[in-house]
Amino acid sequence: MARSLEEMAAAGYEKLTRKAQQISASWNAAKSRMTAGYDATPFGPTRKANYRAAIQAASHRTDPEKWRRNWTAKMAE
Q: Which of 65, 60, 61, 40 is nearest to 51 (CA)?
A: 40
**Number of separate domains in the chain:** 1
On whether the CB atoms of residues 35 and 21 are closer than 8 A, the answer is no
List the domain range (segments joined by +) for residue 48.
Answer: 5-75
Could you give the CA distance from residue 74 to residue 77 in angstroms, rounded to a whole number?
5
pLDDT digits (tens, 9 = 90+) for 3-61: 899 999 999 999 999 999 999 999 999 999 999 999 999 999 999 999 999 999 998 88
Query: pTM value?
Result: 0.67
Dump pLDDT digits (tens) for 57-73. Answer: 998 889 999 999 999 99
Calpha distance 35→52 (Å, rounded)? 6
Q: How many CA atoms does the CB half-sphere of 55 hold within 13 Å?
A: 19
Give pLDDT, residue 60: 86
